[in-house]
Structure 1
Amino acid sequence: MTAPVIGVLALQGDVREHTAALAAAGAHARPIRRPTELETVDGLIIPGGESTTISKLTDLFELREPIDKRIADGMPVYGSCAGMIMLASEVLDGRADQRGFAGIEMTVRRNAFGRQVASFEAPVNLDGIDGGPLHALFIRAPWVEHVGRGVEVLGTVTEGPAAGRIVAVRQENLLATAFHPELTGDRRLHAYFADLVRAAI
C-alpha cells in the first residue's frame, strides 16, 4: 500500500502532534512553511491553533495562492478546529481582516463553544469510521451552523448541552472537524484522511 506524503501547515498550532499521528497512520508527514515545500506533498493538514494568526501567517509566508491553487486542483486537505475555520466559505464572529480558503461550502461560528476554560470532551460518531465513537476534545472550538448541498455531515456531538451540533464535515477531498484528534491518541481520523489522500494520488 502506497504511503502518501502529507504536509502539515507549520505556521502555528499542533504541528508536531499531527505529524506524529500521520506517521502512526502510515503516512509520510512533512512540515510546510514555504510554497516549494507545498509542491512536494499529496495532501495537507491545517492544524488547530488561532485562525486569525494562521490567516496572517499564510499571507506572510506567501502560501495563500499556492494553497488555493492546490485546493482548486483537487488536493485533499483536512482542517481541525482553526483549520475548519480556515476551510469555511463563511465565518461568523471572525475578524474583518480574517481570510480563509473557502473550500467547504459551510457557515462556521468561531469560538462557538466558548473560551478555553469551557473546553470539553465528548463522544462523536463519525460516518465512515468504524470502531465506535471517537473521544473528541474541543478547545475554543467552532461549530458548523449551516452546510451547502455538496457538503456531507460526518459527525455531530451526541451528548451534553451541545448535542446535535455539527462538528465534522466533508466536501469531496476536503475534510474538517471542530475537535482535535491529534491530541487524543485515536488515529482513526488520520488514517481516514490518509486513505482519502491515497485515493486521490
Structure 2
Amino acid sequence: MPPTVGVLALQGDVREHLAALTGLGIEAVTVRRPEELAAVDGLVLPGGESTTMAKLLRTFELMEPLRERVGRGLPVFGTCAGMILLADRVRDGAAGQETVGGLDVTVRRNAFGRQVDSFEADLHVGGLDEPVHAVFIRAPWVEEVGGGVEVLAQAAEHPVAVRQGRLLATSFHPEVGGDGRLHRLFLDLVG
C-alpha cells in the first residue's frame, strides 16, 4: 500500500506541495488536526511565515503531537519556513519564537534579505544528477550543522539543503516549477 503524505495546511504553499506529491502518484492530504497528523506516514512543512505557522501549530494543538512524531522518526520535509520550524536553533527569530525541532542545525531567518532580494539559482544537490532550479523567497540559510547532518546543497557559501535521518529541509521552494526530484528524495525517506 502506498504511503500517505500530509502537508501541514495552516498557512503557506499547501496547494503547490499537494500538487507536487500527487504528481508523483502519492496520496497527499492536508493536516490541520492532531488526528490527521496521526494518520500520515510522512509530512511536508511548507514555506510561509514561520512565526505565524508556529502560533497556528499551538492554536490547532499540533505543536506537541508533531514534536512527538518527529521524535519517534516521522519523515518530515521542511521547505523555507518549514526548515525554520524543523531547526533546533533559530537566529533573528521573533521574541519567543518556537520551533518543532529535531534537525540539529542553526538557521538564520530571512538570511538572504527581504522580499525584494528574492532570487533563483541552479544548484547541485547531493544525490541528484542534474542541477535543481531553486527559488529563494525571503529564505533562511543554515549557519551551523550538527554532526549527524548531511549538507546536500549550498548557496552563498551556506547550506541551503540538508538531511538528518528521516528529516529533509531546504531554504528554497522545490514545489515551484514542476521539478519533483526533491519530493522524490523525501519519498525515499518515507519508504
Tell me the TM-score normalized by structure 1.
0.93
Question: Pick from 146, 163, 166: which aligns with 1:170?
Answer: 163
5+ unaligned residues in a row in structure 1: which ranges? none
User: Partners of 2:125 and 2:137 in 1: how far apart?
Assistant: 19
Runs ≥4 in structure 1, deviation > 2 angstroms? Answer: none
Coordinate RMSD, CA, aligned? 0.8
Q: Are 2:73 and 1:77 equivalent residues in the alignment?
A: no
2:154 paired residue number: 156
Q: Are 2:139 and 1:146 equivalent residues in the alignment?
A: no
Q: Are 2:22 and 1:14 equivalent residues in the alignment?
A: no
Matching residue's letter, 2:170: T
Deviation at 1:129, TM superposition (A): 2.0
Deviation at 1:133, TM superposition (A): 0.5
User: Partners of 1:65 and 1:102 in 2: how far apart?
Assistant: 11
The 5 A counterparts of 1:94-133 are 94-130=93-129, 132-133=130-131
2:183 paired residue number: 190
2:67 paired residue number: 68
User: Partners of 1:180 and 1:150 in 2: how far apart?
Assistant: 24
User: Partners of 2:95 and 2:102 in 1: how far apart?
Assistant: 19
1:37-66 deviation line (CA, Å, top 9, x unaligned)? 011100000000000000000000000111
Tell me the TM-score normalized by structure 2.
0.98
Query: Does the 8 Å contact 1:7/1:45 carry over to 2?
Result: yes
Percent of residue pairs identical: 61
5+ unaligned residues in a row in structure 2: which ranges? none
Deviation at 1:26, TM superposition (A): 2.4
